[in-house]
């Protein structure tokens, strides 16, 4: 049994699909967030957070790099913490109105959802 241990012929390989980095299929699948319809929906949620509220932005269809940059910019403008979870942006605290204003200024269509 012959098992290839190391080769410089193909260059770096993707750890998931074992293809050369230039031909990686995983990267192309994960570059876009297609969970939404392009309309940013802003929710407020406290469930599972010991009563602490978070504002959640769902439905943006951006590639991963743009999504991360937008989340970082919004966190900085709101002066709050936050995270990206399951393709949604979470911001600590109730910032629905401020998020709506900031996202509309960036040209997104925004709806306030939930109560």
Using the Cα atoms of residue 22, residue 27, residue 32 and residue 34 in order, give the sign of their dihedral.
positive
- Percentage with pLDDT > 70 across the chain: 71
CATH top class, domain 32-112: alpha beta
pLDDT the model gives residue 87: 84
Cβ count near 67 (within 10 Å): 19
CB 57 within 8 A of CB 89: yes
Give the pair of three-digit tokens for residue 82.
Answer: 């936050």
The confidence band for 80, taking pLDDT boundaries of 50, 70 and 90, is very high
Higher pLDDT, 35 or 94: 94
pLDDT the model gives residue 31: 46
pTM of the model: 0.67
Tell me the pLDDT tens digit for each residue of 3-17: 656 666 666 666 667
Locate the domains of the chain by residue range. Answer: 32-112
Higher pLDDT, 76 or 30: 76
CB 31 within 8 A of CB 64: yes
Strands (E), the chain: 39-45, 54-58, 82-85, 88-92, 109-112
Residue 33 has pLDDT above 50, yes or no: no
Give the pair of three-digit tokens for residue 40.
Answer: 């940013």
The confidence band for 62, taking pLDDT boundaries of 50, 70 and 90, is confident
DSSP lists the bridge partners of residue 88 as: 85
The angle that helices 64-78 and 96-105 make with each other, rounded to 10 degrees, is 130
DSSP lists the bridge partners of residue 85 as: 88
The confidence band for 97, taking pLDDT boundaries of 50, 70 and 90, is very high
Q: How far is Cα 66 from Cα 54, in angstroms, rounded to an integer?
A: 22
Residue 68 has pLDDT above 80, yes or no: yes
């Amino acid at each position: 049994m012959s098992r290839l241990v190391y080769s410089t012929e193909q260059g770096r390989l993707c750890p998931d699909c074992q293809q050369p980095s230039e031909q990686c299929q995983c990267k192309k699948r994960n570059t876009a967030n297609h969970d939404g319809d392009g309309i940013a929906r802003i929710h407020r949620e406290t469930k599972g957070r010991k009563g602490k509220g978070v504002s959640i932005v769902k439905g943006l269809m951006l590639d991963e790099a743009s999504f991360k940059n937008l989340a970082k910019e919004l966190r900085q403008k709101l002066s709050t913490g936050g995270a990206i979870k399951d393709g949604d942006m979470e911001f600590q605290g109730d910032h629905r109105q401020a998020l709506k204003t900031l996202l509309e200024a960036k040209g997104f269509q925004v709806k306030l959802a939930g109560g």
